[in-house]
Structure 1
């Protein structure tokens, strides 16, 4: 299969390379390792992720002790937030999918370690278990959220531990609050209110990133999320591919529907690949592996999601690169 390198990289990004499998001779394209930036490992069987194109995941709500026990030697590589930091009676407490141990109630703005219910104590509990991020619950649509002073103390404590803060934002004003208190990443593209242009520009220019999770919503919420993400991406915002895997019936691996919705939101194919390949929260992608997508790159963008969903994680040495 002959592939024009310049055309390929113009379409899919500078790291795309024509390749073939050394063991089977199968031809296709090599891309950087793909990531799903929003999963819940306690709700899925993750054993098929690498075979279906996902080299790394970020668990955004789980038991920190159980997550700390995961062997980091294989694939997918796992980063995690540990428990949701929430208010008494706040989201996701009481949800059938959320065991008690995946919520940590924070009621005190104390920045001193060891204070019961304290902000610093909550952050330390996740960080000491090996968390790479800290997750806040800002779901005013489903219950109370921590007081403003508590939220600010959590963000400050996370900064001291050099951990980014990601927030589940739901309810009017929650996306704005996340930006005001310095949240680094929004766990879902805002889906229950249409953000105005200034708010979206402020989020994009601040360096905040949004995790897509477009495919999990009802049609009306999905339409809102796609519109918000389109404006955010157009303003230069950093988009991370994520599915909220474990929420509903989704494929374990690259999700073609999520990719279709990213294209609907105005991302071009190279931007979609960049959202998949972004190593956040790590500084670099997993080493020694890459994504291999067999077959010719479709000429029609509408066919690109299904093609990318055929990806698999392979050792870098397995591929022979044949740029022409």
Structure 2
């Protein structure tokens, strides 16, 4: 395959891929839609490395809502965020060394009315008022107390009334079922503590998006195997897969993560599916405006070479790329 073969490039990478060049430098490569990392923690990373290394947009899934609200709206990465984790009293991530107090809110009352101290509605209102695009809840039964059905259902109801989806950190026995029973819209991680049964998998694929985060399990082979198997089954069931890395968890440079992409391929995703997971604008409806992803050099000939090749991606202004459609 060469950079001048648009048909082969589209077959490998999907309909939005095109050979092209950078107008200013003349460098040839492949033009793709802007990429999003759907799970990062900005307070733990150097975000300035994201755009130069292929990430146009990021979704912060656990940070100080006040600080996030104060961020400039222009520039890259374009940011969506959840604000603080909503969790049970004493629940994850309260007390974790990486989690300052400002990034968690303990739900002590299932009331949906505004202004109730510790209320579900109060904390959802706070995140929404700070500009959140999604509400994050912690359901980590492996690390302490979790929200009960009533409190979680109240959070989901309040979020949906405000047009906001709910994403959950699900870990431990019964947590996926609890998330499904209360209408949680997305999972912050592919389930990794156990294999998901067929009935739950079918329910999840019909109603949820899953953020991949497969590559965070490098030191736990069982969790890694569970996550890849679960995502493969979720894909087979027709589920919506979002590329996400939990960047800030571990020592990794900002940008496209080759290990995460390789894990997606191991889970059975083809090239177009990998690009779709990267380019999905969730939790919004529209991708980052005015930019494209550019990968220099010839596109690879085989799927197994796509992850390493995408590691060379960068974000460029849309007007700087010239697509070769012939």
Structure 1 partner of 2:212: 212
> What does the per-residue CA deviation read over 1:224-248, in whole Å, with 9 as the maximum and x for residues that have no partner?
0000000000111000000000000
> What does the per-residue CA deviation read over 1:211-236, in whole Å, with 9 as the maximum and x for residues that have no partner?
00000012210110000000000111
Structure 1 partner of 2:315: 313
TM-score by length of 1: 0.98
Structure 1 partner of 2:63: 62
Cα distance, 1:2–1:126 mapped onto 2, change above 3 Å: closer
Q: Give the conservation status (yes or no) of the 8 Å contact 1:107–1:146.
A: no
Q: Give the conservation status (yes or no) of the 8 Å contact 2:3–2:298.
A: no
Structure 2 partner of 1:221: 223
Structure 2 partner of 1:29: 30
Q: Give the conservation status (yes or no) of the 8 Å contact 1:136–1:168.
A: yes
Structure 2 partner of 1:79: 80
- 1:245 is the counterpart of 2:247: yes
Q: Which runs of 4+ in 1 moved over 6 A?
A: none
Cα distance, 1:90–1:24 mapped onto 2, change above 3 Å: same
> What does the per-residue CA deviation read over 1:176-221, in whole Å, with 9 as the maximum and x for residues that have no partner?
1111110000000000011011211111122x10000000012210
Task: Give the superposition deviation at 1:2.
Answer: 4.7
Structure 2 partner of 1:88: 89
Cα distance, 1:295–1:115 mapped onto 2, change above 3 Å: same
- 1:269 is the counterpart of 2:244: no
Residues in 2 aligned to 1:176 and 1:241: alpha-carbon distance in whole angstroms: 23
Residues in 2 aligned to 1:201 and 1:270: alpha-carbon distance in whole angstroms: 23
Q: Matches of residues 163-182 of structure 1 in structure 2 within 5 Å?
A: 163-182=164-183
Q: Give the conservation status (yes or no) of the 8 Å contact 2:83–2:127.
A: yes
What is the count of residue pairs matched by the alignment? 323
> What does the per-residue CA deviation read over 1:22-76, in whole Å, with 9 as the maximum and x for residues that have no partner?
1111111100000000000000110011000000000000000011111110000
CA RMSD of the aligned region, Å? 0.9
Residues in 1 aligned to 2:7 and 2:310: alpha-carbon distance in whole angstroms: 19
Residues in 1 aligned to 2:147 and 2:258: alpha-carbon distance in whole angstroms: 36
Q: Matches of residues 95-174 of structure 1 in structure 2 within 5 Å?
A: 95-174=96-175
> What does the per-residue CA deviation read over 1:112-132, in whole Å, with 9 as the maximum and x for residues that have no partner?
100001110010000000000
Structure 2 gaps, min length 5: none
Structure 2 partner of 1:46: 47
Cα distance, 1:150–1:302 mapped onto 2, change above 3 Å: same
Structure 1 gaps, min length 5: none
- 1:300 is the counterpart of 2:302: yes
Q: Give the conservation status (yes or no) of the 8 Å contact 2:12–2:303.
A: no
Of residues 294-303 and 95-104 in structure 1, the stretch that sits farther from structure 2 once superposed is 294-303
Task: Give the superposition deviation at 1:249.
Answer: 1.4
